[in-house]
Amino acid sequence: MLFEALLHEKVDTIFGIPGGAIISVYDELCDYQDKIRFFLFRHEQGATHAADGYARSTGKPGVVLVTSGPGATNTVTAIATAYMDSVPLVVITGQVPTSMIGTDAFQEADVTGITMPITKHNHLVTSIEELPRVIKEAFHLATTGRPGPVLIDLPKDVQIAEGEFNYPNDIDIPSYRPTTRGHPKQIKKAMELLKNSKKPLVIVGGGANLSGTMDLVNAFIDKFGIPVVHTLMGHGVNPRDERLYFGGIGMHGTVYGNYAVTHSDLLIALGVRFSDRILGNPKKFAPGARIVHVDIDPAEIGKNVRVDVPIVGDLKSVLKEFLNFDFETDFSEWVKELQGVKERFPLGYRKGKYIKPQYVVEKASELFPDDTVVVADVGQNQMWVAQFYRFKHPRSFLCSGGLGTMGFALPAGIGAKIGNPNREVLVIAGDGGFQMNIQELMTINRYKLPVKVIILDNNALGMVRQWQQLFFKCRYSATLLDDNPDFAGIARVVGINARRVEKPEEVDAALEELANSKSPTLLHVLVDPRENVLPMVPSGGNLAEPLTDAPLDSGIVEKIRGGSDE
Amino acid sequence: MSDRQIFGGEHEHTVSVLVYNKPGVLRKIAGLFSRRGFNISSITVGDGKDPGLSRLTIVVTGDDKVIEQIQKQLYKVVEVVKVSPIDPKHRVEREMALVKVRLDGGEKIELLQLVEIFRGKIIDVSNEGVIVEITGATSKVEAFIKLLASSHKIIEIARTGKVAMNRWESSYNGEGS
C-alpha cells in the first residue's frame, strides 16, 4: 500500500538501506522495480544526504526508506541538514510493532521524539487506514510553504496490515495554510521606497533557488537596474548586466558585497533568513538602510534584524507584483561607486610553489559546463567554491549552509547525479569532510554514476585550523591530518578512475581530463596547507571591517608535509 | 491583571492556543519552547468546545520580540489551529490551587477565617490537618498561599496553572471554541 501511495505522489526514486523493521516493505519493493528506482547506500546518513542532493538539484522531494532504531538515528544529521536549508524530504522509517512500542525492544528508538525539532512535521502511523492520508499530507507539507523534511514512522504491524486503499485526491489541513500572496499595501510601500532610493541593493537568498524563481529575480534586477548580492544559498543569480553583480556577502563575502550592504539605503531581501553568518554584528548591519524582507515564513521576518517592510508570501507571486510596477530608475552613480570598491578590493590570492585551492576552483569553473551541479562540502573548500566559482544557473550550487554538515558533498553529489543524469555533477570536498562519508564511493561504483570529484587536500580540518591560526595563537589543536591516506589509491581500489595531483603545472591537464571523462573520476589534489579563506569578517564582527590579509603560517608545511616551503 | 512587568522590556504574557488533540502535540509545543529558549511560567491543557481540539493556556515571559516569535513559531507547528493572545486589559483568568495544611492546635479559627475571606473551600479534613481549595486570579492564589504560609505549616501545594479568556468587550476577540 505504501508504494501505491508513493506512486500517486509521482515518486520514482528512493534512497535507503533495509533492515529488520522495514523488511516487509523492502520485500514489496521487488514488485515495483519497473516503476521505482531504488538506490542502496552504505550508510543511512549517506542515503539521506543523497535524497537531499536529489531534492536540492531537481526541486522534487527526496524519499528515504530506512529501518528502525539505528537506521533511523543514522538519518538524523542529514535530516537536520535538510531542515536548516529548507529542503523537501519524506523520510520513512520502520518502527517496532505497535504492541512493542515503549518496551525497549530490539532496534527501538523514539524516532518521532528524536526528530521533532529537526522536521517540519513527523507522524507515527498507528493504523493502515490512516496511511494514505498521512503520505499525502507528508508530501504536501514537505513541498509547500517553506519546504522541509517530514518523517513518517511506520510500525512493522502496520506495514503488513491489509486495508482498503483509498488515496485522497485533495488535502485540507485547516491548521496549515501558508500565505502565498504578498500584501498589496506592503508591496506598494516597498516599491515606493525603491522609487525614492539612491542606493538600493537586492540580497538573494536560498528561497530564490527553492521556489524556482531565479528568472524572476534576474528580471527584477534588470528591469530596475539594482545592484545585487547573495547569501551562500542564493548562488545562481545572474543578471543580464554583469556590472550589477557584486558576489556573496557575510563572513566570507566579498569586500565590495559587504560594502554594498553597509552603504545601501534600501535592502530588498528575497528569501533570506539573515543568519549570523550574513549579519556579523546585527547592531552594525546595514546601518543606513531600510529593509524590505520578502519570505514565505512569517517567523523569519523580524527574527534577526529589524524590518521596515515585511512581505509574507511566495517569492514568485511577490516578484510578479514587483514587476508590474513601472517607473524610471537610475542607480548608475551607486553602481559606479560599488564598481570602484570592486576594483580596489578584488577577490584574489597569491600564486606560489604549492597548488592554490582557489586556482583549482577557478579553473574548474572555466572548464565545466554552465549548468554543472557543483556540490561543496563544508569549511574552507566550501568558501573557496562560493568565492571563486561563478554560478549562472539556479540549483547549481549545493552545500550544507545552515547546519554546516561535513561529509555532505559526496552523498549529496550522488543524489544530484541520480536526479540529473544529463548534467555534470562536480563534488568539491576537503580532505576532512570527504572522509566523513567516504563509504559512498562504493555507491558511485555500484551504479557506475559518472560523478566527478575533486578533493582539495590541505592535510587539515582547514577552517578550524584557520581560526586557530588567527584567534588561538597558531595552536593547532587536533586539526592537522598529517596521516591522510592516498585518496586516489582508495578510489582506484573501489573501481573509480583517480589521479593524484601534486604540482601546480599538473592542475590544468588533470582538470581537463576530469571534465572530459565519461566515467566516475576523482582528483586528489594536494593544495597549499597554509592557505586561508579571505576576506573574513570574524564571528559577530562588523561587515564594514573585514580582515583582508593574513600571513601564511609556513610552520604548518613542515609539520604535515615533512618539508619546508622553499 | 495586566501583564506583569518583570524587568526592562520583559513581561509576562498569556496566549491561548487551540490545537488538534493528536499524540505528541503537547511534547511538540513544550519542545518548541525549550529549543527556542522561551520561558514558560505555566501551561495548562484541556478539552475545548469542539471534539478533537484542545486548548492550551500558556504563560510566558519575554520582551515584545520574543512574544512575537513565540506566536509565529507556534503557528509553524502543523497541529496548531489558532494562537490567541490574551488581552492584558480585558480578560478573565482563573487558577486553582489545593493546599494541604497541618493543624496542630489552636489556629483552626484563624484558618477558617482566612479561607472565608478568600472564598476558598475546605475539601478534606482529618485530625492532622485539612486540604483547602482556592480559586481565583493568580495574584489572589499567591496572596492566599503567602498569608497561609506565614501562620500555618503548609505540607503540599498543587496548582493548576492559569486558564484565561478574553472578555466580551476585548478587541482581541474573534475566534471560536
**Chain A CB within 8 Å of residue B99 CB:** no
Do B38 and B85 lie in one domain? The reply is yes
B170 within some domain: no
Integer angstrom CA distances of residue B139 from A396, A520, B109, B121, B145: 59, 71, 24, 18, 10
Which chain A residue's Cα is nearest to B53? Answer: A175
Given the C-alpha cell 593544495, which residue does it identify?
A527
Please check the confidence at residue A437 and state whether its pLDDT lies above 60: yes
Do B39 and B73 lie in one domain? The reply is yes
Among B60, B89, B118, residue at a domain's last position? B89
B81 within some domain: yes
Do B49 and B81 lie in one domain? The reply is yes
Contact (CB, 8 A) for A368 and A426: yes
CA distance B140 to chain A (A): 36
CA distance A303 to chain B (A): 7
> Which cell numbers hold the place of A35?
516503476
Instruction: Determine phi and psi for B62, rounding to 5 degrees.
Output: 170, 175
E strand or H helix at A410 = helix A409-419
Cβ distance A117 to B32 less than 8 Å, yes or no, reads yes
Task: Find the CATH number of the domain harbouring B81.
Answer: 3.30.70.260
Do B150 and B110 lie in one domain? The reply is yes
Among B89, B112, B131, residue at a domain's last position? B89
* pLDDT level of residue B6 (50, 70, 90 thresholds): low
**Residue to substitute from A175, A300, A307, interface B, most B β-carbons within 10 A:** A175
B44 within some domain: yes
B157 within some domain: yes
Q: A303 contacts in B (CB within 8 Å)?
A: 69
CA distance B176 to chain A (A): 14
Mean pLDDT in residue range A297-318? 96
Q: Which residues of A touch B (CB under 8 A)?
A: 112-113, 116-117, 120-121, 124, 126, 141, 173-176, 297-299, 302-303
Do B84 and B102 lie in one domain? The reply is no
* pLDDT level of residue B107 (50, 70, 90 thresholds): confident
Task: Find the CATH number of the domain harbouring B117.
Answer: 3.30.70.1150
Do B39 and B100 lie in one domain? The reply is no
Do B126 and B60 lie in one domain? The reply is no
Write the secondary structure of A231-299 as one string of H (helix), E (strand) and C (coil): CHHHCCCCCCCHHHEEEECCCCCCHHHHHHHHHCCEEEEECCCCCHHHHCCHHHCCCCCEEEEEECCHH
3-state SS, residue A114: helix
The overall average pLDDT reported for chain A is 97
User: What domain range is B145 assigned to?
Assistant: 92-165
B172 within some domain: no
pLDDT tens across A373-397, in order? 999 999 999 999 999 999 999 999 9
Cβ distance A116 to B81 less than 8 Å, yes or no, reads no
pLDDT score, position B108: 85
Do B74 and B103 lie in one domain? The reply is no
Cβ distance A173 to B78 less than 8 Å, yes or no, reads yes
Do B19 and B38 lie in one domain? The reply is yes
Please check the confidence at residue B3 and state whether its pLDDT lies above 70: no
pTM of the model: 0.95
B156 within some domain: yes
* pLDDT level of residue A290 (50, 70, 90 thresholds): very high
Half-sphere exposure of residue A59: CA atoms within 13 angstroms, side-chain side: 13
Q: Which residues of A are catalytic?
A: 44, 106-107, 156, 463
Among B28, B60, B89, residue at a domain's last position? B89
A566 closest CA partner among A352, A405, A364: A352
Bridge partners of A155? Answer: A95
Half-sphere exposure of residue B86: CA atoms within 13 angstroms, side-chain side: 25
**Chain A CB within 8 Å of residue B20 CB:** yes
B173 within some domain: no
Which chain B residue's Cα is nearest to A141? Answer: B78
pLDDT tens across A59-90, in order? 999 999 999 999 999 999 999 999 999 999 99
Please check the confidence at residue A227 and state whether its pLDDT lies above 60: yes
Q: B69 contacts in A (CB within 8 Å)?
A: 299, 303
Cβ distance A117 to B35 less than 8 Å, yes or no, reads yes
Q: In total, how many domains does chain B have? A: 2
B24 within some domain: yes
Q: A302 contacts in B (CB within 8 Å)?
A: 65, 68
Please check the confidence at residue B175 and state whether its pLDDT lies above 50: no
Do B67 and B37 lie in one domain? The reply is yes
Contact (CB, 8 A) for B145 and B135: no
Interface pTM, i.e. ipTM = 0.87
> Which cell numbers hold the place of B87?
488581552
Cβ distance A175 to B28 less than 8 Å, yes or no, reads no
Q: A306 contacts in B (CB within 8 Å)?
A: none
* Amino acid occupying residue A255: V
Do B42 and B110 lie in one domain? The reply is no
3-state SS, residue A500: strand
Do B50 and B24 lie in one domain? The reply is yes
Q: B65 contacts in A (CB within 8 Å)?
A: 302
CB-based contacts of B14, cutoff 8 Å, min separation 6: B3, B57, B58, B59, B60, B85, B86, B91, B93, B162, B164
Beta A521-526 vs B5-7: how paired, if at all? unpaired
Mean pLDDT in residue range A43-48? 98
